[in-house]
Amino acid sequence: MSMFASCGSNDNVVEEIAELPENTYSIVDTGVKDFYSDDAIISEPQANDAFYGQDATYQSNEPSYTNNGDETITDNVTGLMWEQDMGTKLSFGDAFSKAESSGLGGHSDWRVPTLKELYSLILFTGSVKGEQAIELFIDTDYFNQSLGDVSIGEREIDAQTWSSTEYVGRTMNSDETVFGVNFIDGRIKGYPKYKPGTGAANTMYFRMVRGNVEYGKNNFVDNGDATVSDLATGLMWQKADDGTGRDWEESLVYAENLELATYSDWRLPNAKELQSIVDYSRSPQTTNSPAIDPIFETTEINDPDGNPGQYPYFWTSTSHLDGANPYASAAYIAFGEGQGEMNGTLMDVHGAGCQRSDPKSGNANDYPEFWGPQGDVRYVYNYVRCVRDITNQ
**Taking a C-beta distance cutoff of 8 angstroms, is the pair 233, 23 a contact?**
yes
Residues 270, 271, 272, CA angle at the centre, nearest 5°?
Answer: 95
pLDDT at 392 over 60: no
pLDDT category at 15 given cuts 50, 70, 90 is very low
Question: What span, in angstroms and rounded, lies between the C-alpha atoms of 314 and 211?
Answer: 31
Question: What span, in angstroms and rounded, lies between the C-alpha atoms of 157 and 134?
Answer: 10
| pTM for this predicted structure | 0.94
**Range 114-136 average pLDDT:** 97
Mean per-residue pLDDT of the chain: 94
What percent of the chain has a predicted confidence (pLDDT) above 90? Answer: 92
Residues 6+ apart with CB under 8 A from 275: 116, 119, 188, 333, 353, 355
Strand partners, 73: 67, 82
364, 374, 365, 347: which is closest to 356 by C-alpha?
374
Residues 228, 287, 91, CA angle at the centre, nearest 5°?
Answer: 100
Q: What is the pLDDT of residue 197?
A: 86
Q: What is the pLDDT of residue 391?
A: 82
Residues 6+ apart with CB under 8 A from 266: 238, 255, 256, 258, 259, 260, 386, 387, 388
pLDDT category at 284 given cuts 50, 70, 90 is very high
pLDDT at 8 over 60: no
The domain locations on the chain are 4-25+29-60+217-389, 65-210
Question: What span, in angstroms and rounded, lies between the C-alpha atoms of 242 and 251?
Answer: 11
